[in-house]
A = this chain, B = another copy of it.
């Protein structure tokens, strides 16, 4: 698979999919999200506008595919060490957001897709679910080891992690360093019962 992933037609794509998505990322990092126009991408890719519109219904879908190329959703290997695994999960999340390209584009994308539930669902699938499941596996492994509650709320953990990281990056502009990473891991490991489903008062 090389492209047209977000738009759904995962089996096929334009011959110039690579050129186009690459151009989209180039324009995105040079001009920022508001400066990313289809015409600019077409020009940068040396491609006709219609070739882009033939395969992506709109700017949002194109950007989604372009970002999907660089969005990491790796599996967390079993290191035998819960802290190390969770740190790896947090680091992966940080690396996903620690560039203007992604930090600015993902929320803008979400905003653009909000009115369209179908596209929003697809967005979540591509950018959230795949990564979340991989991290959830590591979290459940930690639960098996007894380091986390057996009914650990993997979604809450990841909402706290990704939310904090994205918020810092986009809104406050603070750096995403290993201090933060360590804090985020420890918040979970230090009071694991807060991230259990049944821990409601």
Q: Please give the residue numbers on chain A whose beta carbons come within 8 Å of chain B beta carbons, in ascending order.
A: 32-34, 100, 104-108, 110-112, 114-115, 120, 124, 127-128, 155-156, 159-160, 162-168, 170-174, 179-180, 182-183, 186-187, 190-191, 193-195, 199-201
Contacts and interface: CB of A to CB of B under 8 A. Distances in A.
B168 A159 contact: yes
Contacts of A193: 190
Given A107-B107, A128-B172, A191-B194, 16 more contacts: A33-B114, A100-B114, A107-B108, A124-B173, A127-B171, A128-B171, A156-B180, A159-B167, A159-B168, A159-B172, A160-B163, A162-B167, A163-B164, A163-B165, A167-B167, A183-B195
Most chain B beta-carbon contacts within 10 A, residue among A120, A127, A167, A190:
A167
Contacts of A164: 159-160, 163-164
